[in-house]
Amino acid sequence: MPYWFDGFELDADRVELRRHGLIVPVEPQVFALLLLLVEHRARMVSKEEIIGAVWGGRIVSDSALSSRIKSARRALGDDGQGQRFIRTLHGQGFRFVAEVTTTGPGAATPAGPTANGALAPSARARPSIAILPFRLVAASEFHPALGEALAHDLIVALSRLRWLFVIARGSSFRFRSGHQDACRAGRLLDASYCLCGIVETAADRVLITAELIDTRSEAVVWADRCDGPIDAVHALRARIAASVIAALEIQIPLHEAALASLAEPSCLTAWSAYHLGLRHLHRFTRDDNEAAAALFARALALDPHFVRAHAGLSSTHFQSAFLRYSADAPGEARAARACAERSLDLDPLDPVANFTMGRALWLTGEVDRSTPWLERATALSPSFAQGYYARAWADAVAERDRHSIENVDMAMSLSPLDPLFYAMLATRALTDLIQGSTGTAAAWADRAARSPGAHVMISLIAVIAHTLDGNRDRAALWTADLRRRGGTSQAHFFASFPFRDGPLRRRMAKAMDENGIS
């Protein structure tokens, strides 16, 4: 979204600063600094927050920060004396003070405080979150800083999520936890969400409770708790951090989609159109897939550089090819790959872009080539559940069980409410088939086929697993379900699940033959 002020145009999409239509050269860090100050122009931005956003939280000297401020002022024709655009609040931070419009010259819509003292909505495209220090109850003298340590862990980990704007520790740690305080802190920090929590210690146990709050409505979006022995507190910190990150990957998009569904279609932003698209994508029907594609296309029309929308469009083409919604499966496979490549061009460090690229290679049978992309996705975001599932799937169809069970179990543990949970269960069933554990495979396949969102291929996996386990009645039940849903063929199954030509593939084919699936 472009911002206009005093003859200047700051274009976040094109990463350009222009004056009267002519580009003003600025370094990337200077542009990032300007954008941060303009987006948060209704308040002071602390030095720590600038360092977190511009330098990724790395330790930098005051002179490096001063140099970027000086360069930003120079680009705007400002200086430390006039401070017409960037005002210094000594010892605290900086604030952008010129009037800014977001709808073009002459249509002023400056951000500022609302009647109740909260900030007006920011023009930021992605949601933002503030992590407050967790409040200690009956704190142990051995762990007095546990609440702050846990919040710091979450800030560091959440900063790796490319779609979420995380308020820096220097700003969020000025507040302490508590529901009402969290809402007020979130509004003052211009954050759409706030994560807070409580740490309780008693004897040799510690209980950690976390809450995600929408600061706009003061509603609790998600909450969870975990406990463990106090002498294993560091492992518990890691566990709660992984759990929170995986949950936020699901809960914030679901909540944003729910909010977007209440908006007039003509008022959808790129972000809300994208999240409505995700809602349709995960229903796994032909009509919903088409609706998702239209919403992702709309998001891209509003913001052509929206990385996740390109990845979403890739997923619609993937689904169309994988489930044969289109008669031109090869064309859909090419489109899935092209959209994934575009998302990577825009942001090679986005884990979803890497995941989407790896998965697109499945459609052309290049399972081995997909593995580095999927490993990179989980390296970039160690709590990315769908990345672990995809790695397990690739190992399963390649009949490698080296890490398949470990990865799929990790995926299910991280995201038990994931929209792809049925696929995780089915992958677990395939892994057990590789090991010859047909009874266990059949049990996992049953759970997968009964799960929300499970498509026709999952029913076929249940047919195969029960047939190989010798349970003809259960196999017949899932064969009937398969036919009620339109059926499929062996050619389709092995195109979507490209098992190598070996004993397992032949046993699978024989199982399908026995149930009249040719």
Whether 486 is covered by a domain: the verdict is yes
Given pLDDT bands bounded at 50, 70 and 90, which one contains residue 483? very high
Chain segment 192-245, per-residue pLDDT in tens: 899 988 888 777 788 888 899 998 888 898 888 888 887 777 777 777 788 888
Q: Average of pLDDT values for 177-191?
A: 72
Tell me the percentage of the chain whose pLDDT exceeds 90: 36
pLDDT at 319: 95
- Bigger pLDDT: 143 or 134? 134
Q: Average of pLDDT values for 153-163?
A: 79
> What is the count of structural domains for the chain?
4
Asked if 80 and 157 sit in the same domain, the reply is no
| CATH value at residue 498 | 1.25.40
Angle formed by the axes of helices 233-261 and 146-158, nearest 10°:
50
pLDDT at 264: 66
| Cβ contacts of 268 within 8 Å, gap of 6 or more | 260, 276, 298
Helix (H) or strand (E) holding 45: strand 45-46
Give the end of a domain, one of 242, 257, 272: 257
Select from 125, 162, 156, 126 the least CA-distant residue to 349: 162
DSSP of 60-76, one letter per residue?
--HHHHHHHHHHHHHHT
Q: What is the rounded distance in angstroms from the CA atom of residue 206 to the CA atom of residue 28?
A: 44
Beta strands in 215-332 (DSSP E): 219-229
pLDDT at 349: 87
Helix (H) or strand (E) holding 500: none
pLDDT at 516: 95
Asked if 443 and 515 sit in the same domain, the reply is yes
pLDDT at 353: 94
Chain segment 236-277, per-residue pLDDT in tens: 777 778 888 888 888 888 888 787 777 666 667 888 888 889
| CATH value at residue 72 | 1.10.10.10
Q: What is the rounded distance in angstroms from the CA atom of residue 350 to the CA atom of residue 353?
A: 5
Secondary structure class of 205 (helix, strand, coil): strand
Of the candidate ranges 109-113, 155-159, 256-260, the one whose mean pLDDT is the lowest: 109-113
Q: What is the rounded distance in angstroms from the CA atom of residue 123 to the CA atom of residue 103?
A: 11
| CATH value at residue 360 | 1.25.40.10
Q: Terminus-to-terminus CA distance in the chain, angstroms?
A: 53
Whether 144 is covered by a domain: the verdict is yes
| Cβ contacts of 70 within 8 Å, gap of 6 or more | 80
The answer to whether 108 and 99 have CB atoms below 8 angstroms apart is: yes
Q: What is the rounded distance in angstroms from the CA atom of residue 97 to the CA atom of residue 38?
A: 9
Select from 303, 283, 284, 281 the least CA-distant residue to 294: 281
Give the end of a domain, one of 382, 412, 436: 382
The rounded mean pLDDT for the chain is 84
Whether 7 is covered by a domain: the verdict is yes
pLDDT at 400: 76
pLDDT at 384: 87
pLDDT at 316: 97
pLDDT at 47: 86
Q: 72 is in which domain, residue-wise?
A: 2-96
Chain segment 278-313, per-residue pLDDT in tens: 989 988 899 999 999 999 999 899 888 889 999 999
The pairs formed by 335-340 with CB atoms below 8 angstroms and a separation of 24 or more are: 336/360, 336/363, 337/361, 337/363, 337/364, 338/314, 339/310, 339/311, 339/313, 339/314, 340/310, 340/311, 340/314
pLDDT at 107: 37
Given pLDDT bands bounded at 50, 70 and 90, which one contains residue 443? very high
Of the candidate ranges 127-136, 157-166, 332-341, the one whose mean pLDDT is the lowest: 157-166
Whether 225 is covered by a domain: the verdict is yes
The answer to whether 119 and 187 have CB atoms below 8 angstroms apart is: yes
